[in-house]
Structure 1
């Protein structure tokens, strides 16, 4: 599959653009390729979006809702096909990709409903003969930057609210996983979007992403990216003071209390640390364990990691696949080596598997490091790979201090038996989402996003619409009662 760019309602293969090759990370076999957008391509997409903006804004909310509902149905109908292609280009097992794609369809349906609930209100006024009416309107041309780790799902997180609000959207999609996205774009197009209402431009951040962030006629940009990339986006967006919504990096602590069910906590930590081989912004990076149960918990984690079976995600029953590429392995190796050099103990993994079935792919054993110093890389930086670092704590105050000590504030997890106590502790944790005895903080109808350097703005829930809407006050003098 050799794809081009999608602009003005059609697939195009313009000359002069670089072509990017995509290989299966489990086998090294070619999967396809994509053109990479440049600044001129971005300009074409912006022009098409400007033509579409009044058309999309003029659609009745129920018409926009119907488009999103139809797109969701088309995505559901092609779920298996999209999931298998995504596994070939990204590596995540097919079963995980099915969940991703079906949740993306749910997001589209959710915002179909939200499209009909964009209403205004009557506000109190300073005098009896004054009426204040607040209404909400599409902000205009929108842009989005989507990552490669959950590309279909996160695409829907952005396209759903943008279209619901009446904003045409230009997406810089990831060159690593553009093929499954092309199927999603086809579903959105076949649902009946006006020409120009959606553009899909695979490309690199410093080129296509920067062009979107700095474009003077793009009014809002939403991005899921690293902290340095988010900082670049904000700098580029300052030129026309465009609105920004940024979901950035994380280093999520999982905190194990002395009264926790250690088996359940370890299984939850294992799944969240190694699902998608740790290539998740809310993955468990560091595990803080009460010293009274530290050794027992670490032994369970090591056993789970050691018995984890890796494989080609296309094969039936495989739950854990390869990482995306060599750069992920290099980063995990650097974090592992740093932790060990500073006194950490390697309990499991730490190597590429040597069996013949793994030699052509980017496989890496799930890695556990115990007694990892707090200044070591996995305890202080985002690893974004299959490594979990464990450290004991002596009391609750020390645990809170350690958990809050980093610049990251996306997700945290607590496991224990005293829910009231954990709730009180959760109020002191500086994170956008906190899971109590659950290893996920994303919920369709609730806001998702980070505190501190982990982001600005929120996605999902009704809050996900806010970036794409502008409020307007209509202040009227009315005839006084007689």
Structure 2
């Protein structure tokens, strides 16, 4: 839409969009608040009520170029700053995120629909994603290697790429942004971040906190706009030296192709199809608890959620009975209500896709045992809702067992052996996360070698930690994030052969 925003001044992050009768948030470029050069805006609607709550700038290639040039002008001085000083600034940034916890969480609920409790957790994790690399600033290391020649040292020096572009997904916009910003800025890079158009507001709110923390102008830029306009310019511009993106596999593949022209470095965390394996010796109670939490967190809109269940015949009936009972007790409703377990889907498109997926599974032979429809009642007259759904009698040939399903749908298949579970789990183009419930140490060690996934949860629900490494295999991505290995992804290497004979 064309907003009626006053374009003569951009001194504040937020003003009132009189045309849409809602708050308008601006982009943060070069230490300044600004609107799109075109003056156009994007509506951001509540998934709960479908009411437009915010507008943001609909930036174009022109705005992307401005942000990239601003980052480029700031990079040299930021990289020259001692790492410990960069880390101190970023630690303050993390503290300010924590201090604004309730405000940021409320925005996340408004624009994304997740429960308030989960939104508070996302803010906490976001601060951690900044603070962990900030505290590691003194531990950035290179190497000195012995030379084959006398009186010579070989030194591997690590340096920042320069201008990085971060593209975040809509399901955890704040956390996924901070997951990239923390290590990128700690290692001396500068960054232009483009949050998703459907959930951009909490990310834009980081601009004022970055300024308050003392992050110099241009070091962190936050822009909004379409993927085929602004997004493409950010990826293909020669200024950009690294692109880090979290999102769908199809989008990641397109970014990879676009980045190839300039041989821009690419780090991708993409789609998943996590298998959930429960063997005959596994703890059924623990498996049910983990499945309920992991499948239904964020209304099932998590790339590491269990998306296909392989349950051993010996415990199948017990698991299914207890799982149906537990899932049926989950409460859908107002995401700001502390009693709510599941909020709305993010938008109508996602809800429609979920409905089509379930119907196709039934058409292909799956049996619907719970849910499978949109809920009824006054609360659900508006918004994007879908009931927790359980399907049985599934086979690995069904689309619901092969394609990513971003929602509260649990397709379940009966298995008869560990070998069958391994074969079925690996029979997928995705390799992000997997779940395994067994106390047989030999099987666990085999899974370490044979499961083709970057992240495996053994006898526990999902949830990676900052010091670990979040990494997808196959079509689930390349590069990885978190911990010291994630930090290394933002550093290039220079080799010096220093002869002092």
TM-score range, shorter chain: over 0.9
| Runs of 4+ residues deviating >3 angstroms | none
Corresponding residue for residue 135 of structure 1: 157
Preserved CA contact (<8 Å) 1:244 1:467? no
Hey, what's the Cα distance between the residues in 2 that align with 1:262 and 1:119? 45
Structure 1 unpaired stretches of 5+: none
The alpha-carbon deviation at position 15 of structure 1 amounts to 4.0
**Count of aligned pairs:** 479
Residue 394 of structure 1 and its aligned partner are, at CA, apart by 1.6
Aligned partners of 1:263 and 1:133: how far apart in 2?
A: 53
Cα gap change, 1:92/1:148 in structure 2, threshold over 3 Å: closer, same or farther? same
Residue 296 of structure 1 deviates from its aligned partner by 2.0
Q: What's the CA shift for 1:427? A: 2.3
Find the counterpart in structure 2 of residue 261 from structure 1.
283
Match of 1:176 in 2: 198
Check conservation: 2:46, 2:111, Cα contact below 8 A: yes
Tell me, yes or no, if the aligned pair for 1:251 and 1:380 is still in contact at 8 Å: yes
For 1:373 and 1:241, the matched residues in 2 are separated by: 41
Among 326, 335, 338, which residue is 2:348 paired with?
326
Across the aligned residues of Structure 1 and Structure 2, the Cα RMSD in angstroms comes to 1.2
In 2, are the aligned partners of 1:255 and 1:289 still within 8 Å (CA)?
yes
**Residues 37, 59 of structure 2: 8 Å contact kept:** no
TM-score normalized with structure 2 length = 0.93
SS in 2 for 1:149: coil
Residue number in structure 1 paired with 2:77: 55
Residue 460 of structure 1 deviates from its aligned partner by: 0.3
1:434 corresponds to which of 449, 452, 456? 456
Q: Deviations over 1:397-443 (max 9, x none)?
A: 11111000010000000112324422322321000010001122512
For the Cα contact (< 8 Å) 1:139–1:220, is it kept in 2? yes
Structure-2 separation of matches of 1:17 and 1:387: 41
2:301 equivalent to 1:279: yes
Could you tell me whether the CA contact under 8 Å between 2:331 and 2:339 is conserved in 1? no
CA–CA distance in structure 2, aligned partners of residues 2 and 193 of structure 1: 24
Matched, 1:121 2:143: yes
Q: Hey, what does 2:379 align to over in structure 1?
A: 357
C-alpha contact (below 8 Å) 2:64/2:233 kept by paired residues:
yes
Q: Answer yes or no: is the 8 Å Cα contact 2:105–2:116 preserved in 1.
A: yes
Distance 1:443 1:316 in 2: 25
SS at match of 2:369: strand
Residue 209 of structure 1: which of 212, 223, 231 is its match?
231
Q: Which residue of 1 aligns with 2:58?
A: 36
Distance 1:206 1:242 in 2: 18
- Look up the match of 2:492: 470
Q: How does 1:31-430 map to 2 (within 5 A)?
A: 31-430=53-452
CA distance in 2, matches of 1:156, 1:115: 16
**Separation (CA, whole Å) in 2 of partners of 1:165 and 1:129:** 31
What runs of 5+ residues in structure 2 fail to find an aligned partner?
Answer: 1-22
Q: CA deviation at 1:17?
A: 4.2
SS of residue matched to 2:136: helix
Q: 2: distance between equivalents of 1:423 and 1:333?
A: 39
- Calculate the TM-score normalised by the size of structure 1: 0.97
Q: Is 1:11 the equivalent of 2:33?
A: yes
Q: Partners of 1:14 and 1:346 in 2: how far apart?
A: 48
- Separation in 2, partners of 1:237, 1:15: 25
8 A Cα contact 2:274 2:434, kept in partner: yes
Q: Secondary structure at the match of 1:186?
A: helix
SS in 2 for 1:292: helix
Paired residue for 2:473?
451
Q: Secondary structure at the match of 1:170?
A: strand
In the other structure, the counterpart of 2:16 is: none
Rounded to whole Å, the distance in 1 between the matches of 2:361 and 2:427 is 18
Deviation string, structure 1 residues 290-341 (Cα, Å, up to 9, x no partner): 0122122112222222221101111232221111011111111121112111
> Following the alignment from structure 1 to structure 2, what is the Cα–Cα distance between the partners of residues 419 and 349?
37
Using the TM superposition, name which of 455-464 and 290-299 deviates more. Answer: 290-299
Deviation of residue 175 (structure 1)? 1.3
Indicate conservation of the 8 Å contact 1:226/1:249, yes or no.
Answer: yes
